[in-house]
């Protein structure tokens, strides 16, 4: 069995964290680099990611998440906030980054820039927001996989008030909206869910070969 499959079988949505255990700086950097390398549509990464360590802010976030203890017991809380809308400047900055990274001329990327703008900027505002939120979930997947390889526990969460999170973190004025969050750290020995057998569809029920 490959190591990635073993790691994925090991992971589960941790409900109770050991508040005394913290992720090392090195492991946190690796975890975030895994998220940075996430796939996204056109590579645009239409989101910002907030790593919350401040105890007072986390207490406020806990209240906005129906007092779930993961928010304060985990080592960090990771908030994925999508851009509610993009503009030409955002795409132009992305194209500039490509040119600088790959030692190219921006002028040679005009075709790519026009294609991205025609595809994304023409979406209605609601559709653009929904599209950007989906990109956050891709990044969350990379967080889960990287954490599993590092034997770091994660609880991905949708059980919170996104509006309250936006207010607490000052996201509205930045044109951002909380899409999904994840608490990261180490499982408590008292968390009974770690001992439960993982339940998934069988390969016969899940996969279809055409």
Mean pLDDT value of segment 102-109: 97
* DSSP one-letter string for 24-66: -HHHHHHHHHHHHT---GGG---EEEEEE--HHHHHHHHHTTT
How confident is the model over 33-80, as pLDDT tens digits?
A: 999 999 999 999 999 999 999 999 999 999 999 999 999 999 999 999
CATH level 3 topology of 3-84+129-195: NADH Oxidase (3.40.109)
The 10 Å Cβ neighbour count of residue 143 is 23
CB of 68 closer than 8 Å to CB of 159: yes
How confident is the model over 86-104, as pLDDT tens digits?
A: 999 999 999 999 999 999 9
Look at residue 207 and give its three-state secondary structure. Answer: coil
Q: What is the model's pTM?
A: 0.97
CA–CA distances in Å: residue 40 to residues 43, 134, 136, 194:
5, 9, 8, 31
- Confidence (pLDDT) at 2: 84
């Amino acid at each position: 069995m490959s190591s990635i499959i073993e790691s994925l079988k090991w992971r589960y949505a941790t409900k109770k964290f050991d508040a005394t255990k913290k992720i090392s700086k090195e492991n946190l950097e690796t975890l975030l680099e895994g998220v940075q390398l996430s796939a996204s549509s056109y590579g645009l990464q239409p989101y910002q990611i907030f790593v919350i360590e401040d105890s007072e802010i986390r207490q406020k976030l806990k209240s906005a998440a129906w007092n779930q203890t993961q928010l304060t017991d985990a080592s960090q809380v990771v908030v994925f906030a999508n851009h509610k809308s993009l503009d030409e400047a955002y795409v132009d900055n992305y194209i500039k980054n490509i040119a600088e990274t790959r030692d190219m001329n921006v002028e040679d990327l005009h075709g790519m820039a026009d294609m991205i703008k025609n595809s994304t900027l023409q979406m209605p505002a609601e559709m653009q927001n929904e599209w950007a939120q989906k990109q956050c979930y891709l990044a969350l997947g990379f967080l889960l996989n990287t954490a599993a390889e590092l034997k770091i526990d994660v609880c991905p969460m949708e059980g919170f008030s996104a509006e309250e999170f936006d207010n607490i973190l000052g996201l509205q004025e930045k044109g951002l909206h909380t899409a999904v969050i994840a608490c990261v750290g180490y499982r408590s020995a008292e968390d009974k869910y770690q001992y439960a057998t993982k339940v998934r569809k069988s390969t016969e029920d899940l996969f279809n070969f055409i």
